[in-house]
Amino acid sequence: MQSSADTNEHAREDIEALKGAVLIEFGASWCEHCRAARPLVEKVMARHPEVRFVWVEDGKGKALGRSFQVKLWPTLIFLKDGREIERLVRPGDAGSIEGAIVRTVAG
């Protein structure tokens, strides 16, 4: 899985400049919902090495999460060439993540 744990603040423009399919997960390391979703995300991402994965430590005052209007964790945002294709909030099954990945790659 192509991934990077990202605790640094990035400009929205940097994210939008990423080419290809990208999954950005906004969450917090202490969040129980995030920890529950982690195995689901890892399972799906293992089948999609062509998709870049970026995990963003979010929180109060974090500009990137606010620019994407993230309200709950985890929020998964699926981008293709910098354009949002889909988003999932607190996904409960691998199938919904898989479907969003497939639609993003095709997108």
Report field, pTM of the whole predicted structure over 0.85: yes
- Of residues 86 and 1, the one with the higher pLDDT is 86
Task: Check residue 9 and give its pLDDT.
Answer: 66
Task: Check residue 6 and give its pLDDT.
Answer: 47
Catalytic annotation, pick one of 34, 45, 51, 70 = 34
Task: Check residue 4 and give its pLDDT.
Answer: 47
- Percentage of the chain surpassing pLDDT 90? 86
Pairing state of beta strands 75-80 and 83-89?
Answer: antiparallel
Q: Domains in the chain: how many in total?
A: 1
97 vs 18: CA distance, rounded Å: 20
Pairing state of beta strands 52-57 and 21-27?
Answer: parallel
Catalytic annotation, pick one of 31, 37, 54, 101 = 31
Q: What CATH number is associated with residue 57?
A: 3.40.30.10
Known catalytic membership, residue 31: yes
For residue 11, report the phi and psi dihedrals to the nearest 5 degrees: -75, 145
Torsion 19-21-42-36 (CA) sign: positive
105 vs 48: CA distance, rounded Å: 9
**Structural domain containing residue 53:** 3-106
Known catalytic membership, residue 2: no
Task: Check residue 8 and give its pLDDT.
Answer: 54
